[in-house]
Structure 1
Amino acid sequence: MSLKNVKWFKVADNKNELQWQDNNMLIAEVGGRKITLAIIKDEVFAYAHKCPHASGVLADGFIDATGNIVCPLHRYKFNPTNGRNVSGEGYYLKVYAIEEREAGIFVGFEETNWISIFK
Structure 2
Amino acid sequence: MNKQREWHLIALHPNELNFNAENLAEIKVAGKHLCIARVKDRLFACTAKCPHAAHPLVNGYVNVQGDIVCALHRYKFNLETGKNTTGEGYPLKTYPVEEREDGWYVGIEKGSWFGF
TM-score (norm 1): 0.89
Runs of 4+ in 1 over 2 A off after TM superposition: none
Question: What's the RMSD between the two structures over aligned residues?
Answer: 1.4
Match of 1:59 in 2: 58
Unaligned runs of 5+ in 1: 114-119
C-alpha distance in 2 between matches for 1:79 and 1:52: 13
C-alpha distance in 2 between matches for 1:33 and 1:17: 19
Give the CA deviation at 1:112.
3.7
C-alpha distance in 2 between matches for 1:92 and 1:41: 24
C-alpha distance in 1 between matches for 2:52 and 2:18: 27
Count of residues in Structure 1 that have an aligned counterpart in Structure 2:
112
Matching of residues 15-94 of structure 1 within 5 Å: 15-94=14-93
Q: Which has the larger radius of gyration?
A: 1
C-alpha distance in 1 between matches for 2:10 and 2:58: 17
C-alpha distance in 2 between matches for 1:11 and 1:112: 20
Match of 1:116 in 2: none
| Secondary structure of 2:22's aligned partner | coil
**One-letter amino acid of the structure 1 residue matched with residue 58 of structure 2:** A
Give the CA deviation at 1:65.
1.6
C-alpha distance in 1 between matches for 2:19 and 2:51: 23
C-alpha distance in 1 between matches for 2:82 and 2:29: 19
| Secondary structure of 1:59's aligned partner | helix
C-alpha distance in 2 between matches for 1:50 and 1:36: 8
Match of 2:8 in 1: 9
**One-letter amino acid of the structure 2 residue matched with residue 33 of structure 1:** K
**One-letter amino acid of the structure 1 residue matched with residue 74 of structure 2:** R
Unaligned runs of 5+ in 2: none
Give the CA deviation at 1:17.
2.1
Match of 2:94 in 1: 95
C-alpha distance in 1 between matches for 2:86 and 2:43: 22
| Secondary structure of 1:16's aligned partner | helix
